[in-house]
Structure 1
């Protein structure tokens, strides 16, 4: 007889849906930036636009890995798949690679303002939390 899988409680579903929305915004930001959507990018200072447009292709690739694997991780959480853990892990690699480039080459002054730094910190905190949480859920048998 097969053992019943533990129930995913309300907190699990709240974290999953909030994570999905958070990661979906990251993907929207990526698509709008990569497609040079003028209305969306109008909010950015010229130095930020020049910086983003001047990023090497591998940094754009790392960014893509970061956002799309985070979204995939959230979708995998929705279906309670254990593969959410490695998806978030790959996302962390993409985030780390793009951040190493940004720190090593220097960012425009408008990107080092406290609000921008706060956003970068929030991205790291949320992703590390999602990795920790999905690992915990996998260990508890909530993720199949």
Structure 2
């Protein structure tokens, strides 16, 4: 039988912020996959062609990344250890998606600030893995 220690209030603040952040990512996945008209209307021809050329495997990675991150965030708030491996899956699939976007499709040639969001998302992903690991070490997660 494992015991758990009540986490501090900032644990809950970070958990809620993680969930909101990842719900925003899931919303972006939904829009970019199922409601492309709204996005395509804002793009010039070159950007539109790049966006429409995103391979299926990269879209699947985006979906896995966002869904696993949302479920992991819920797990974090439910104080479950399984949140950490889901955050790791999310980060791995995000890296695959970003490698496609930044290096295979070469998005920075068409979208000038292409590195900002992937860098931010990567850093937040690493921090959430570290945070969930800390939660396991401190017995906040069981």
TM-score by length of 2: 0.88
Q: Name the structure 2 match of 1:121.
A: 119
Q: Which runs of 5+ in 2 are unaligned?
A: none
Cα distance in structure 1, aligned partners of 2:134 and 2:117: 26
Q: Name the structure 2 match of 1:11.
A: 10
Q: Name the structure 2 match of 1:133.
A: 131
Structure 1 residue matching 2:97: 3-state secondary structure = helix
Q: Which runs of 5+ in 1 are unaligned?
A: none
Change (3 A) 1:44 1:133: farther
- The number of residues matched between the two structures is 141
Cα distance in structure 2, aligned partners of 1:39 and 1:3: 49
Cα distance in structure 1, aligned partners of 2:60 and 2:8: 36
1:45 Cα shift? 4.1
Change (3 A) 1:16 1:46: farther
Q: Structure 1 segments of 4 or more deviating over 6 A? A: none
Answer whether contact 1:51 1:108 (CA < 8 A) is retained.
Answer: no
Answer whether contact 1:47 1:108 (CA < 8 A) is retained.
Answer: no
